Chain A
Amino acid sequence: MELKLPIYLDNNATTPMDPRVLEAMLPYFTEKFGNAASRSHAFGWAAEEAVDYAREQVAKLINADPKEIIFTSGATEGDNLAIKGVFEMYASKGNHIITCVTEHKAVLDTCKHIEKQGGEVTYLPVQENGLVDLAELEKAITSKTILIAIMYGNNEVGVIQPVREISAIARKHGVLFFTDATQAVGKIPVDVLADGIDLMTFSGHKMYGPKGVGALYVRRKNPRVKVTAQMDGGGHERGMRSGTLNVPGIVGLGKACEICMNEMEEEGKRLSILRDKLQNGLMALEEAYVNGSIEHRLPHVANISFKYVEGEGLMMGFNKNIALSSGSACTSASLEPSYVLKALGLGDDLAHSSLRFGLGRFTTEEQIDYTIKAVSETVIKLREMSPLWEMFKEGIDLNAIEWAHH
Chain B
Amino acid sequence: MHRIYFDNAATTALAPEVLEAMMPFLTEKFGNPSSIYSYGRESKMAIEAARKTVARILNCNPGEIFFTSGGTESSNTAINASVNDLGCKHIITSPIEHHATLHTVENLEKKGIVRLSIVKLTDKGHIDMADLESLLANSPEKTLVTLMHANNEVGNILDIQAVGELCKKYDAIFHSDTVQTVGHYPFDLKNTYVHFINGAGHKFHGPKGVGILYVNENIQIKPLINGGSQERNMRAGTENLYGIVGFAKALEMATEHYNNDSEYIRGLKSYMAEQLTHTFAGVSCNGDTNGRSLYTVLNVSFPKTDKTDMLLFNLDMAGICVSGGSACSSGASSVSHVIKALYNGKSETMVPIRFSFSKQNTKEEVDAVIEKLKDLI
Contact = CB atoms under 8 A, between A and B. Distances in A.
A248 B207 contact: yes
A258 interface: no
Given A232-B76, A233-B98, A235-B328, A110 B226 contact: yes
B7 A30 contact: no
Given A29-B19, A76-B227, A110-B226, A38 B10 contact: yes
Given A73-B240, A113-B226, A248 B39 contact: no
B99 to A, nearest CB: 5
B70 interface: yes
Contacts of B35: 10, 13-14, 323, 325, 329, 332
Q: Which of A37, A230, A331 has the most CB of B within 10 A?
A: A37
B220 interface: no
Contact of A233 (B75, B239, B241): B75
A42 interface: yes
Contact of A244 (B71, B103, B242, B323): B71
B27 A17 contact: yes
B236 A109 contact: yes
Interface in B238-268: 238-243
Contacts of A198: none
Interface in A225-268: 230-236, 242-249
Q: Which of B5, B202, B209, B240 has the most CB of A within 10 A?
A: B209
Interface in B22-75: 22, 26-28, 30-32, 34-40, 69-73, 75
Contact of A76 (B225, B243, B321): B225
A230 B226 CA distance: 12
Contact of A34 (B11, B27, B322): B11
A369 B313 CA distance: 63
Interface residues of A, number: 72
Contact of B99 (A10, A42, A242): A242
A17 B26 contact: yes
B100 A33 contact: no
Interface string A289-331: 0000000000000000000000000010001100111000111
Contacts of A104: 227
A323 B200 CA distance: 33
Contact of B69 (A19, A31, A73): A73
Nearest to A242: B72
A8 B73 contact: no
Interface string B216-229: 00000000111111
A30 B324 contact: no
A245 B98 CA distance: 16
Nearest to A19: B27
A37 B328 contact: yes
Interface stretch (A205-213, A269-277, A279-287, A374-382): A205-213
A73 B237 contact: yes
B26 A210 contact: yes
B202 A76 contact: no
A317 B36 CA distance: 14
Nearest to A73: B69
A105 B227 contact: yes
A354 to B, nearest CB: 15
A211 B47 CA distance: 13
Contacts of B323: 38, 40-41
Interface in B161-220: 200, 202, 207-210
A16 B243 CA distance: 15
B208 A242 contact: no
Contacts of B284: none
B7 A43 contact: yes
Contacts of B75: 233
A15 interface: yes
Contact of A211 (B5, B243, B313, B316): B243
A222 to B, nearest CB: 29
B39 A323 contact: yes
B358 to A, nearest CB: 11
Given A106-B226, A232-B104, A329-B35, A213 B316 contact: no
A393 interface: no
Given A243-B71, A246-B69, A332-B34, A232 B107 contact: yes
B81 interface: no
A237 to B, nearest CB: 11
A74 B210 CA distance: 12
Given A6-B38, A43-B7, A242 B100 contact: yes
B327 A44 contact: yes
B238 A15 contact: no
B37 A248 contact: no
Given A16-B30, A212-B209, A234-B328, A43 B321 contact: yes
Contacts of A29: 14, 19, 22, 207
Given A17-B26, A42-B316, A211-B239, A35 B11 contact: yes
Contacts of B38: 6, 320, 323
Closest 3 CB pairs of A and B: A212-B240, A234-B328, A246-B209
23 contacts: A17-B27, A25-B26, A34-B10, A37-B10, A40-B313, A40-B315, A42-B319, A44-B7, A73-B73, A76-B228, A76-B237, A109-B226, A210-B26, A212-B242, A212-B243, A231-B72, A233-B75, A243-B69, A243-B70, A246-B243, A325-B35, A325-B36, A331-B229
Given A106-B227, A106-B228, A233-B76, 4 more contacts: A37-B10, A44-B327, A211-B243, A232-B107
Interface of B: 3, 5, 7, 10-14, 16, 19, 22, 26-28, 30-32, 34-40, 69-73, 75-76, 98-100, 103-104, 107, 200, 202, 207-210, 224-230, 236-243, 312-313, 315-316, 319-324, 326-331
Interface of A: 6, 8, 10, 13-17, 19, 22, 25-26, 29-31, 33-35, 37-44, 73-77, 79-80, 104-106, 109-110, 112-113, 203, 205, 210-213, 230-236, 242-249, 315, 319-320, 323-325, 329-333
